Structure formats: C-alpha cells, structure tokens
Structure 1
Amino acid sequence: MTTSTEKVAVVRDTYTRYNPSERANHWLVVVCALLLMLSGLAFFHPVFFWLTALFGGGQAARAIHPWIGVVLAISFTFMGIRFFRQNIWTKEDSEWMSHVGDVINHREDKVPEAGRFNAAQKLVFYVMFWSVVTLFLSGLVLWQHYFGDAFPIGLQRFAGLVHAVMAAAMIITMIIHIYAAIWNAGSVRAMTRGPVTGGWLWKHHRRFLREEVGGRK
C-alpha cells in the first residue's frame, strides 16, 4: 500500500530544478572560472606559459585576465543573491555531514532530508564565495595597468601569495564539484536542461520536494 509520504514524490512527473536565468548565470561563472584558471596557470609557472596561446599570447592574456575576473565577480554576485537564502547553514546540514559515508554508499534512506542544496553543495558555495571575494580584492592590488602605483610593493607581494592560495582552493573545489555532479546522476542534466523527476528530488532533496509540493518558493 502506498503511504501519503510516498505519494509526495509523484505529485508531478518533473520539477524545475534550475530556471533558464539560473542556468545561464551558473554557466557564465563556469566559463569565467575556467578561463581564469587557464590564464592564471600560465602566469603562475613557465611550464604552463604555452596556455597563453589560447588568449592570443602573453600580453593579451595578461590584459584579458583581470577583466574576466571582473565579469566573474559580477556574475557570482548575482548568483549569490539568487541562492543566498537556500545556502544558509542549518543544524540539519551538520547532521547531513555526519552521514557523508551513507551518501557515498548510496544509502539515501539513512541520510537526513536536504533542502534545495545539501550541506556539501553549501560548502562549495561558501568556498567559491570567499575565493571570488579574495581573488577579486587581491587581483585589484595586482592589476598593474590601473593600480600599479597605488599599493606598496610589500602589499603587492602579499596579495600575490593570497591570490595563488585562493586560486588553488577554488580550482580544487571546482574539481570536486564537477566530479560530484557527474557522480550524482541527474545533476548535470538539471543544470543543462532544468527539470528533474520527482523521484530524483525525493532521493536527493526530499525537504525541497516537500516545499515544492506545498507551494512554497
């Protein structure tokens, strides 16, 4: 016999996980982050300098890199505004983190219910947020064309160190995020097409499904 809670997952066949503007915002951030990673690696060590060819050479790459950073900062600001409320940490998220082993082993029945974003996704959001903020501010200090004489050399050297460390943190986070999205079947489709099935939400974001069924935004 089907219980009332089991019926929740099949009220509709599909639900919109991300609308078109949310998906466009996300992919703009992805493209900017990828371009910054490639050009940034080219500046970081001579072994990667060949990557500047993707941007038309070393001078072009150095000129383009900070402007891409500005676009990333603006686009991520819009993303942060869109998703801030759903990424507020709760006690349920702390409980979810204690069941990471169950998540990895696909024992979803033992995992606490998640909202629109689970605890791992919220951690990615936080790391990306602080990475973007720190990279943008340190990048301004390092932007020689406009601010070369505005900051003392000691601050510029410190900004260079901070820039490198936070860039590494962002790259590692992006790799983990991409791997998790591929590993969690249906996630990539949600960000490329929008809809997911009620069953998928019931399995991965049950509390969000309850809110959708209840008519809450």
Structure 2
Amino acid sequence: MNDNKPILRYNANERTNHWIVAILFFMAGLSGLALFHPALFWLSNLFGGGPWTRILHPFLGVAMFVFFLGLVVRFWRANFITANDRLWLRRVDRVMRNQEEGVPPIGKYNAGQKLLFWTLLACMLILLVSGVVIWRAYFSAFFGIGAIRLATLMHALAAFVLVLSIIVHIYAGIWIKGSIGAMLHGWVSRAWARKHHELWYRDVTGDKTPHNHGGKKG
C-alpha cells in the first residue's frame, strides 16, 4: 500500500454541485437582505435595483433548493447519526482541543457535520414552503393574511439559522486544514483521512489497522 497516494473524497460532479449551491446561497442571501430591511436596500444594486431584486430573489431561492437536493441525494446515507457520533458529541471538547484520547473513530462525516446537514435541509424546506406562501407574483393570493404573516416570520427565522449554520460550516472548513482543499480539488491525504475520518478511511482503503485513539471506540 502506498501511504503517499491521496484519496478521492469528492468527485467533480459533487464539487460542482456544492459550489453551485454556495454561489446561489450568497446570491439569495444578499438579495434577501436587501428586501429584509431598508438599511440594507443598497444591496439591491447588485441585482439591478429593487424591482429586479424582488423578481430574482425567489427564483434564486428555488434554484438553491433544487441544487441542494442534489447534495441530499448524494450524501444523505452518510449522514445518519450512529453510536460513535453520539459519543463524539459528548467528547467534542477534546476534538476542539485536538486531543484524540477517548474520541471514537468516525465515518465520512463527524456528528457536527451530520447535524449541520440535517439543519440545512430543515431550513431549506422551511424557506421553500414559506417562500411560496409569500411569493406575491404567483402564490400569495391563495393564502390569508395570517398565513402570510406567519410564513414571513418563519422565512426570516429559517434564513437566520441558515446563515449562522453556513458561517459555522465555513469556519470549520478553515479550522480543519485540508477540508477546503478537498472541496476544491477533491483529494485528501491518507494521513488526513486516517486522523479525521478513520472509519471512512478504512472503507475506502481496505486498511483495517486501527489508529490509536487512546480510548474506547464507542
């Protein structure tokens, strides 16, 4: 076995899907902020002014949801919470200190990434449903004022949680060296895979030799 040979973590289609969602997120987010509060209306200049911002925002949101579903289809099987994930969460303080003692081995994604995945999916669903209710050009006429007000509130709350979640996602990607590179060119080193996602490393390499975590494995 060549210990220097990198491992493919994300193929070209997966990376393209991810970056399309990322671009649409920023576009939908900025256009949404422009419509959210008068102090941020200047952001509408990025989209050709207020009317165009109002027109484009819901379509950007729908496109973001559709492409995000592509990620869901690709990755949902790898995001179920396991017993090791629950133990990992209880010992996340050790992970934050980069201390592996007592931290169980994990699969392709750790518990934090899995919780983020399901949070993003929930937010996307709420944004889609609430966005349809308040989409004046096509759908809002079918709903009462109470439903529109509730949908507006839910839309803002879901957007707020989504933005915070993406900030955490970006920070974690920067904090764990090699994560951003994996989504840029697709490859990670064997040492990175063994250290951060040992169970996944064993699956893709066939190397069943356990890495020393200094404690029980859950």
**CA distances 1:132-166 after superposition (whole Å, capped 9, x unpaired):** 01100000001100113111111000000000000
- Matched AA of 1:47: A
Give 5+ residue unaligned stretches, structure 1: 1-6
- Matched AA of 1:182: I
Report the counterpart of residue 25 of structure 1 in structure 2.
17
- Matched AA of 1:55: F
Report the counterpart of residue 74 of structure 2 in structure 1.
82
Report the counterpart of residue 120 of structure 1 in structure 2.
112
Give 5+ residue unaligned stretches, structure 2: 208-218
Query: For 2:101 and 2:63, how far apart are their aligned partners in 1?
Result: 41
CA contact (8 A) 1:11 1:213 kept: no
Deviates more, 1:137-146 or 1:106-115: 106-115
CA contact (8 A) 1:42 1:51 kept: yes
- Aligned to 1:166, which of 152, 155, 158? 158
RMSD: 1.3
Normalization by structure 1: what TM-score?
Answer: 0.92
CA contact (8 A) 1:113 1:206 kept: yes
Normalization by structure 2: what TM-score?
Answer: 0.92
1:147-158 map, 5 Å: 147-158=139-150
Question: Matched residue of 1:144: which SS?
Answer: coil
Structure 1 position 189 matched with structure 2 position 181: yes
Higher helix share: 1
Report the counterpart of residue 138 of structure 2 in structure 1.
146
- Aligned to 2:121, which of 122, 129, 132? 129
Question: Matched residue of 2:7: which SS?
Answer: strand
Question: Matched residue of 1:93: which SS?
Answer: helix
Report the counterpart of residue 58 of structure 1 in structure 2.
50
Report the counterpart of residue 4 of structure 1 in structure 2.
none
- Matched AA of 1:117: Y
1:114 Cα deviation from its structure 2 partner: 1.1
Q: What percent identity do the matched residue pairs reach?
A: 41
- Matched AA of 1:138: S
1:68-107 map, 5 Å: 68-107=60-99
CA contact (8 A) 2:132 2:140 kept: no
- Aligned to 1:39, which of 31, 38, 41? 31
* Structure 1 segments (4+ residues) deviating >6 Å: none
Question: Matched residue of 2:141: which SS?
Answer: coil
Kindly tell me the number of residue pairs found equivalent between the two proteins: 207
**CA distances 1:149-188 after superposition (whole Å, capped 9, x unpaired):** 1111110000000000000000000001100100110000
